[in-house]
Amino acid sequence: MSKEQRNLRAGDSSETTDAAKPRRDIANEAAAHALRLLEKVRHASEARLAKTDTDGDGQQNAAPHAVVIGGGIAGLVAARELRQTGHEVTVLEATGNFGGCVRSTEVAGLRIDAGAESFAVRGGVVASYLDELDLGEQIAATSGQPAWLIQGEDQEILAHPMPATAMLGIPGNVRTDEVRAIIGRPATVRAAADLITPMSKKWATEKLSIAEVVRARMGQAVLDQLVAPVVNGVYSTDPAKISIDAAAPGLRQAMQETGSLARAVSKLQASAPAGSRVAGINGGMYTMVQALVAQLEEAGVALVRNCAATALSHDPQAAAPYAVRTLGQELHADRVVLAVPAQPALELLNPLFAAEQQLDSDGDANAIALAILVIDKPELDDAPRGSGVLVSKQAPLAAKALTHSTAKWPWLADESGPGTHVIRLSFGRIGEHENLVESGDDSALIDQAIKDASKILGVQLHRDDVLGSTVSRFSDMVPLQGEAATARRTALQHNLSDFEGLDVVGAWIAGTGLARVIAQARSAVAISAR
């Protein structure tokens, strides 16, 4: 595809307005459509309540009604489980799209993941679920290109390949040229002490953050220069704020068995060599959302967009004990699943709890933005920084990570063609206020993304090279980490024990990653199934 053809494609995607046609009021049409669907759901719900068995014992003869509040992955998974167990199901989604953090966008004629783009292979949870959705044959391997690390200070940028044996940046072999180039010879000697330092028995049970483990076993340099960039890029937070068990299941046990952090990493990595730790889906991860929505629609689930729940009440004596208020309507339900982020979930839940049981949402700043660029730059065909780059916090860059999507995913490279590249840069960290992210100025963010991508990739990019761009924003999407998260989950589960048929699912409960979200949603619904 020539540059002229690419520019024509980009132009075609943006020049779609027709002045001769009257402008539609999309917002009002969406609200009207949601109200029509709600009316159908409400009438069906009332009919179920009126229908009792012929024995007159007051027990409902119709299928129980479940309302799922939130149409992200957790909500859609829960809805599918409930439908398969015989419930009539209604899903209420506050926005115009399902999928939550799994979303897509069209830029310069390409359909691109604008949220989660991959899933962890370890454990097989997501792959198994994709098989259930008949998407198993669409699972896509990465190109196998390595990840890189950017260091630097002032205006100097240093780029290094990430150690191939690393997990979360923790090297499985500290005596390599890759590790030495990043942290230096003295720090490498300190890191190697892990191999001969006895493992404390108390580490088998006490609470440990990633930072505590790495600092104690391998030293501050490994933590700052290898581990922190990875944890910031993956979890948008500091290694001191996330537990070792949440970030790397099985690592603690492997440490006890091998007597070393490096050997523990090597043991776990043996079953997941570089390039096979994550996978995606041909066509993008949003294919999973499309499959779920299609199956739910075929099964008769009511999927209502642009429909935020505003109140939840509970009457244990009623035939249907829950009532959900939305768009001026009240839906009665036998079961309710909250599949929304922490703040809206707690706004609905706290009125049900006694004053001393009410929970606070996470007060940390967590605005995250993803800048997506489709660029015409044949110089990038050789993938100078592999599949992507993680950025040290000390480097003179605003971006915390870059993914070279067309270098990472062969299916996307085939669709885009030679010379056309998809670059995704992420900005923002939990607990840190960044004006660039919080201002909402997409143009300024794209300008910064172009500047940062030039430095990271080592190839000068200009606005004229950009065929198309967009910004995808996230707020209250990343779960609270560490002890605070554990304490809140424990308190929430205690409170919910008084409410049969009320479940809470999603990343702020399950943790980061599709595997955790899917497993927790299925488990939560199954545990309280009647």
**Alpha carbon of 219 to those of 179, 201, 432: distances in Å?**
13, 20, 25
Q: Is 263 exposed, middle or buried (CB count within 10 Å of its CB: 0-12, 13-18, 19+)?
A: middle
Q: In this predicted structure, what is the pLDDT of residue 511?
A: 81
Please give the structure tokens belonging to residue 268. Answer: 């776990």
- Look at residue 307 and tell me whether its pLDDT is greater than 90: yes
DSSP string, 320-345: S-EEEEETTEEEEESEEEE-S-HHHH
Q: In this predicted structure, what is the pLDDT of residue 273?
A: 47
Q: pLDDT higher for 32 or 189?
A: 189
Share of the chain above pLDDT 90, in %: 60
Span 222-244, average pLDDT: 86
Per this entry, what is the length of the chain?
A: 530
Q: In this predicted structure, what is the pLDDT of residue 119?
A: 93
Q: In this predicted structure, what is the pLDDT of residue 26?
A: 52
Q: In this predicted structure, what is the pLDDT of residue 166?
A: 83
Residue 440 region by backbone torsions, left for phi larger than 0, else alpha for psi between -120 and 50, else beta: left
Which residue type is seen at 421?
Answer: H
- Look at residue 159 and tell me whether its pLDDT is greater than 80: yes
Give the pLDDT confidence of 53-73 residue by residue, as tens digits. Answer: 444 555 556 789 999 999 999
Picking from 26-40, 55-69, 287-301, 504-518, which range would have the lowest pLDDT averaged per residue?
26-40
Span 271-289, average pLDDT: 81
Q: In this predicted structure, what is the pLDDT of residue 415?
A: 96
- Cβ contact 431:365 at 8 Å: yes
Give the pLDDT confidence of 18-54 residue by residue, as tens digits. Answer: 444 555 555 567 767 777 777 767 666 666 666 644 4
Q: In this predicted structure, what is the pLDDT of residue 164?
A: 81
Handedness of CA 116, 117, 122, 124 (dihedral sign): positive
* Residue 101 pLDDT class (50, 70, 90 cuts): very high
Give the pLDDT confidence of 412-448 residue by residue, as tens digits. Answer: 999 999 999 999 999 988 777 888 998 889 999 999 9
Tell me how many degrees the CA angle 100-104-106 measures, rounded to the nearest 5: 150
Please give the structure tokens belonging to residue 309. Answer: 């729940």
Rounded Cα gap, residues 300 and 477, in angstroms: 29
Q: In this predicted structure, what is the pLDDT of residue 42?
A: 66
Picking from 31-35, 248-252, 340-344, which range would have the lowest pLDDT averaged per residue?
31-35
Please give the structure tokens belonging to residue 71. Answer: 């149409």
Report helix, strand or coil for 191: helix
Q: In this predicted structure, what is the pLDDT of residue 63?
A: 85
- Highest mean pLDDT: which of 10-19, 244-253, 337-346, 475-484? 337-346
Which is nearest to 334 in space by CA: 113, 136, 49? 49
**pTM for this model (two decimals):** 0.85
Strands (E) in 392-486, as ranges, are 401-404, 420-427, 466-474
Rounded Cα gap, residues 476 and 464, in angstroms: 34
Which is nearest to 307 in space by CA: 105, 81, 102, 41? 41
Residue 53: phi and psi, rounded to 5, are -75, 165
Averaged pLDDT of the chain: 86
Q: In this predicted structure, what is the pLDDT of residue 28?
A: 65
Span 197-210, average pLDDT: 85
Q: In this predicted structure, what is the pLDDT of residue 235?
A: 78
Span 11-16, average pLDDT: 40
Rounded Cα gap, residues 117 and 402, in angstroms: 13
Q: In this predicted structure, what is the pLDDT of residue 151?
A: 87
**Alpha carbon of 13 to those of 152, 210, 338: distances in Å?**
38, 45, 37
